[in-house]
Amino acid sequence: MRAKITATARYLPERILTNFDLEKMVDTNDEWIRSRTGIETRHLVKEGEATSDMGTQIALELLEKSGKDPEEIDLILVATSTPDYLVCSTAALTQDKIGAKNAWGFDIAAACSGFIFALETASKFIESGRYKNAIVIGADTMSSIIDYTDRDTCVIFGDGGGGVLLESSDDDVGILDSILYTDGSGSRYLNVPAGGSAHPTSKDTVDKRMHFVHQDGKPIFKFAVKNMADVSKQILDQNKLTGDDLKLFIPHQANRRIIDAAAKRCGLPEDKVFINIHKYGNTTAGTIPIALNEAAESGRLEHGDLLLLAAFGGGFTWGSMLIRWGDA
């Protein structure tokens, strides 16, 4: 038995922040941002809109597309670095908002790799035979933890998310394999320093702007270029495949140069690589499920196609996944 994707969905907030808007906020310009990241626009939530609100819209779309009743859902996993609250999980809030009273669930914190980590986790629950229907969401409200006076971070991130419905499969479609890694020594390069138990919220942490994302770009870029490319090639080699066997490669959308390096390592031409970073920026756990939904809705995936996902994120975390596409 395998777990297969039977529906996809995405949610992008209406508000758009362009590179030209950012020119008025920090010392940057459109050409600099595009040449270094590939990003042109990103979406931002409206006031009062939180990650669970995006997750709810994604879950409702999945239910509508699949024809499932909320009470048929057994499990909800939400990959996010920006939960509504520190204690109550975003999965629990989403469960309540959609009326999935028979479902249980939890959040997964693996930064930009979160959706792949959550998809692997949910697939094992499905494969166990105890659970039939699982909703897996990757969503982040990055604007809630971004300092819009810091040009190194504010040009990169956006808000948004996507998700899938997982069900059991007795044929050859579904999640075939995954490789996941964590290296906690990388935590010093990308984090939100305060707000947790290490540095509880205080006047001092607020004054020092410690509740925003802090990153050391050069080591992160070096790590990402190598490891996302390596893990993409590794899963192909492990399954005795090459880039010729793939229909589509959906990488985490963090930086166009990182995506190009991974595609080159796998010997993939541009038409086999899905790229939408120019429209949305880095939505952290949201990038892959958003792209997955766009690929499915635009007709770039058909029954039996072989799909490769790959991501890297803070932690450090990184991983890849092979999927044989069904009829989602």
Answer yes or no: do 157 and 15 share one domain.
yes
- Give the DSSP letter string of 252-284: --S-HHHHHHHHHHTT--GGGB---HHHH-B-G
Does residue 320 contact residue 310 with C-beta atoms inside 8 Å?
yes
What's the DSSP call for residue 196?
S
Among 43, 112, 154, 191, the active-site one is 112
Among 19, 191, 282, 293, the active-site one is 282
- Residue 72 belongs to domain spanning: 2-170
252 in active site: yes
Answer yes or no: do 156 and 126 share one domain.
yes
pLDDT at 150: 96
pLDDT at 282: 98
pLDDT at 327: 84
Tens digit of pLDDT per residue, the chain (328 long)?
899 999 999 999 999 999 999 999 999 999 999 999 999 999 999 999 999 999 999 999 999 999 999 999 999 999 999 999 999 999 999 999 999 999 999 999 999 999 999 999 999 999 999 999 999 999 999 999 999 999 999 999 999 999 999 999 888 899 999 999 999 999 999 999 999 999 999 999 999 999 999 999 899 999 999 999 999 999 999 999 999 999 999 999 999 999 999 999 999 999 999 999 999 999 999 999 999 999 999 999 999 999 999 999 999 999 999 999 998 8
Q: What is the pTM of this model?
A: 0.97
pLDDT at 328: 83
Answer yes or no: do 151 and 223 share one domain.
no
Answer yes or no: do 150 and 210 share one domain.
no
In angstroms, the CA 243 to CA 165 distance is 27
Among 19, 191, 227, 252, the active-site one is 252
282 in active site: yes
Domain count, the chain: 2
pLDDT at 171: 87
Answer yes or no: do 157 and 188 share one domain.
no
The SS3 assignment for 10 reads strand
pLDDT at 120: 98
pLDDT at 321: 98
Residue 245 belongs to a domain with what CATH number?
3.40.47.10
Answer yes or no: do 185 and 98 share one domain.
no
pLDDT at 270: 94
pLDDT at 169: 86
276 in active site: no
Q: Bridge-partner residues for 15, per DSSP?
A: 44
